[in-house]
Amino acid sequence: MQDLGSGMLRKGCFILATAGLLLFSVGPFGWEVLTSIKPSSEIAQSPVVYVPSRVTFEHYVALFARRDFGGYLVNSAVVSSLATLLCMIAGMLAAYALAKLNIPGSPLFLVIVLAVALVPPIILLIPLYEMMRWADWINHRGALVLPYAALNLPFATLVLRAFFRQIPQDLLEAARIDGFTRVGILFKIIVPLSAPALATTAILVFVFCWNEFIFALTFITTDAYKTIPVGIAGLSGVTSPYEIPWGLISAAAVTGTLPLIVLVLIFQRRIVQGLTAGALKG
* Binding residues among 54-73 for other proteins as defined by CB under 8 A: none
Least separation in angstroms between residue 107's CB and other proteins is 7
* Binding residues among 169-188 for other proteins as defined by CB under 8 A: 169, 181-182
Spatial CA neighbour of 247 closest among 26, 20, 55, 5: 55
What 3 state SS string does 175-200 have? HHHCCCCHHHHHHHHHHHHCHHHHHH
Beta carbons within 10 angstroms of residue 129's beta carbon: 15
Size of the site for other proteins (CB under 8 A): 144
Work out the end-to-end distance of the chain between its first and last CA atoms, rounded to an integer number of angstroms: 21
Least separation in angstroms between residue 31's CB and other proteins is 6
Beta carbons within 10 angstroms of residue 252's beta carbon: 26
- The sign of the CA dihedral 190, 196, 199, 201 is negative
Our CB check for other proteins shows the closer of 22 and 70 to be: 22
Q: How far apart are CA 240 and CA 66, in angstroms?
A: 15
The one among 82, 190, 202, 209 contacting other proteins by CB under 8 A: 82
* Binding residues among 93-152 for other proteins as defined by CB under 8 A: 93-94, 96-98, 101-104, 107, 109-130, 133, 136-143, 145-147, 149-151
By CB under 8 A, tell whether 9 contacts other proteins.
no
The one among 84, 157, 185, 255 contacting other proteins by CB under 8 A: 157
Our CB check for other proteins shows the closer of 177 and 222 to be: 222
